[in-house]
Structure 1
Amino acid sequence: MARNATNKLLQNAKKSKSDEFYTQLCDIESELQHYKSHFKNKVVFCNCDDPKTSNFFKYFSLNFNELGLKKIITACYQKQEINLFNNGNVKKGFFTEYSEPNTPIEIKEFNGDGDFRSAESIELLKQSDIVVTNPPFSLFREYVEQLVKYEKKFLIIGNINAITYKEIFKLIKENKAWLGIHLGRGISGFIVPDHYELFGTEARIDSLGNRIVSPNNCLWLTNLDNFKRHEDIQLTKKYFGNEAEYPKYDNYDGINVDKTEDIPLDYDGYMGVPITFLHKFNPDQFEIIKFRKGNDGKDLAINGKCPYFRIIIRNKRIQNKSKEDRKKPAGDFDKTQNFVKVAYF
Structure 2
Amino acid sequence: MTRQATNKHLRKAKKSKSDEFYTQLCDIERELQYYPDSFVNKVVYCNCDDSQTSNFFRFFKDNFQKLGLRKLIASCYKKTNQDLFEVKKNVKAYYCIYEGEKIPMQVISFKGDGDFRSAECIKLLKQADVVVTNPPFSLFREFVSQIVKYNKEFLIIGNVNAITYKEIFDLIQNNKIWLGVNLGRGISGFIVPEHYEQYGTEVRINENGQKIISTNGCLWLTNLELNQRHEDIVLTKMYYGNEKDYPKYDNCNGINVNRTQDIPKDYTGLMGVPITFLHKYNPAQFEIVKFRKGDDGKDLCINGKCPYFRILVKNKYLQQQQYEKSNNISLE
Q: In which range does the TM-score fall when normalised by the shorter chain?
A: over 0.9
Q: CA deviation at 1:290?
A: 0.6
In 2, the alpha carbon distance for the partners of 1:123 and 1:43 equals 13
Confirm or deny: 8 A CA contact 2:99 2:105 kept in the other structure. Answer: no
Aligned mates of 1:49, 1:101 — CA distance in 2: 20
Equivalent position of 2:84 in the other structure: 84
Q: Does 1:288 align with 2:281?
A: no
Q: Which residue identity lines up with residue 284 of structure 2 in the other structure?
A: D
- Indicate the residue corresponding to 1:301 in structure 2: 301
Other-structure match for 2:144: 144
Alignment of 1:1-345 (within 5 A): 2-3=2-3, 5-86=5-86, 90-101=90-101, 105-322=105-322
CA distance in structure 2 between the aligned counterparts of 1:7 and 1:34, rounded to whole angstroms: 26
Contact 2:287 2:315 in 1 (8 A): yes
CA shift digits 1:318-337 (9 cap, x unpaired): 114459x8xxxxxxxxxxxx
Cα distance between partner residues in 1 of 2:172 and 2:85: 48
Q: Per the alignment, do residues 132 and 19 of structure 1 end up closer, same or farther by CA in structure 2, a change over 3 Å counting?
A: same
Q: Residue 9 of structure 1: CA displacement?
A: 1.2
8 Å Cα contact 2:2-2:202 kept in structure 1: no
Q: Structure 1 regions of 5+ residues with no counterpart?
A: 326-345
Return the letter of the residue paired with 1:2.
T
Q: How many angstroms apart in 1 are the aligned matches of 2:11 and 2:22?
A: 17
What is the DSSP-based 3-state SS (H/G/I as helix, E as strand, rest coil) of the residue aligned with 1:131?
strand
By how many angstroms is 1:88 displaced?
Answer: 11
2:88 & 2:133 partners in 1: Cα distance?
Answer: 31
Distance in 1, matches of 2:75 and 2:263, equals 44
- Is the contact between residue 252 and residue 300 of structure 1 (CA under 8 Å) also seen in structure 2? yes
- SS of equivalent residue, structure 2 residue 72: strand
Determine helix, strand or coil for the equivalent of 2:221.
Answer: strand
CA distance in 2, matches of 1:136, 1:72: 20
Code of the residue aligned with 1:130 in structure 2: it is V
Q: In the alignment, which residue of structure 2 is the partner of 1:330?
A: none
Percentage of pairs with the same residue: 66
Aligned residues of 1:82 and 1:90 also touching (Cα < 8 A) = no
Q: Secondary structure at the match of 1:195?
A: coil
Task: Check the 8 A contact 1:96/1:107 in 2, yes or no.
Answer: yes
* 3-state SS of paired residue (2:74): strand
CA distance in 1, matches of 2:242, 2:222: 37
**Is the contact between residue 200 and residue 213 of structure 1 (CA under 8 Å) also seen in structure 2?**
no
The structure, 1 or 2, with the larger RCO (C-alpha pairs under 8 Å, 6+ apart) is 2
Q: Distance in 1 between matches of 2:147 and 2:103?
A: 30
1:190, CA displacement in angstroms? 0.5
* AA of the residue aligned to 1:263: I
For structure 2, the residue ranges without an aligned partner over 5 or more in a row are 326-332
- TM-score w.r.t. structure 2 length? 0.94
Could you tell me whether the CA contact under 8 Å between 2:252 and 2:300 is conserved in 1?
Answer: yes
Instruction: Report the counterpart of residue 329 of structure 1 in structure 2.
Output: none
Alignment-mate amino acid for residue 23 of structure 1: T
Shift of 1:202: 2.2
Q: Residue 307 of structure 1: SS of its match in structure 2?
A: coil
The alignment covers a number of residue pairs equal to 325
Cα drift, residue 217 of structure 1: 0.6
**In structure 1, what is the Cα distance between the partners aligned to 2:273 and 2:8?**
28
The whole-number CA distance in structure 2 between the counterparts of 1:135 and 1:4 is 22
Residues 9 and 199, structure 1, Cα contact 8 Å, conserved in 2: no
Over the aligned positions, Cα root-mean-square deviation in angstroms equals 1.8
In structure 1, the residue matched to 2:328 is none
Q: CA shift at 1:4, angstroms?
A: 5.2
- Deviation string 1:119-175 (CA, Å, 9 cap, x unpaired) is 000000000000000000000000000000000000000000000000000000000
- One-letter amino acid of the counterpart of residue 133, structure 1: T
How much does 1:100 deviate?
1.8
Tell me the secondary structure at the aligned position of residue 212 of structure 2.
strand
User: How far apart, CA to CA, are the structure 1 residues paired with 2:102 and 2:250?
Assistant: 63
User: SS of the counterpart of 2:201?
Assistant: coil
For residues 105 and 12 of structure 2, the distance between their equivalents in structure 1, rounded to whole angstroms, comes to 34
